[in-house]
């Protein structure tokens, strides 16, 4: 059964990064499991994990960015309060 690829996370890594990760997956399988897997199998595995884990990582990154901006806005409010004439 063929699965549809998620387009939202298809461009999350460059071709160069994907090639490096595919090679690392092959090395992992060889060293940890004693199995040699091909490039296609490694790419399918990588795509699977990006599809499954990508949304969680993306959402966590948004939460981190929101938290950072919120802290900066709090600092900005404090800075503006100091500028008011009392």
Distance between CA atoms of 79 and 73, rounded to whole angstroms? 10
Q: Which residues form the domain of 73?
A: 15-83
Tell me which DSSP letter residue 1 carries.
Answer: -
74 domain residue, yes or no? yes
Tens digit of each residue's pLDDT, the chain (86 residues): 555 555 566 678 899 999 999 999 999 999 999 999 999 999 999 999 999 999 999 999 999 999 999 998 888 888 888 888 87
Show the tokens assigned to 8. 């939202």
What was the pLDDT predicted at 74?
Answer: 85
75 domain residue, yes or no? yes
What was the pLDDT predicted at 10?
Answer: 62
54 domain residue, yes or no? yes
What was the pLDDT predicted at 5?
Answer: 53
Tell me which DSSP letter residue 6 carries.
Answer: P
Gyration radius of the chain over CA positions: 21
Distance between CA atoms of 86 and 79, rounded to whole angstroms? 14
Domain count, the chain: 1
32 domain residue, yes or no? yes
């Amino acid at each position: 059964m063929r699965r549809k690829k998620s387009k939202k996370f298809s461009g999350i890594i460059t071709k160069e990064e994907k090639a490096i990760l595919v090679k690392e997956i092959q090395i992992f399988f060889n060293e940890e499991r004693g199995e040699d897997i091909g490039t296609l199998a490694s790419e399918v595995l990588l795509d699977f994990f990006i599809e499954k884990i990508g949304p969680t990582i993306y959402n966590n990154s948004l939460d981190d960015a929101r938290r950072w901006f919120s802290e900066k806005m709090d600092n900005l409010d404090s800075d503006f309060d100091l500028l008011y004439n009392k």
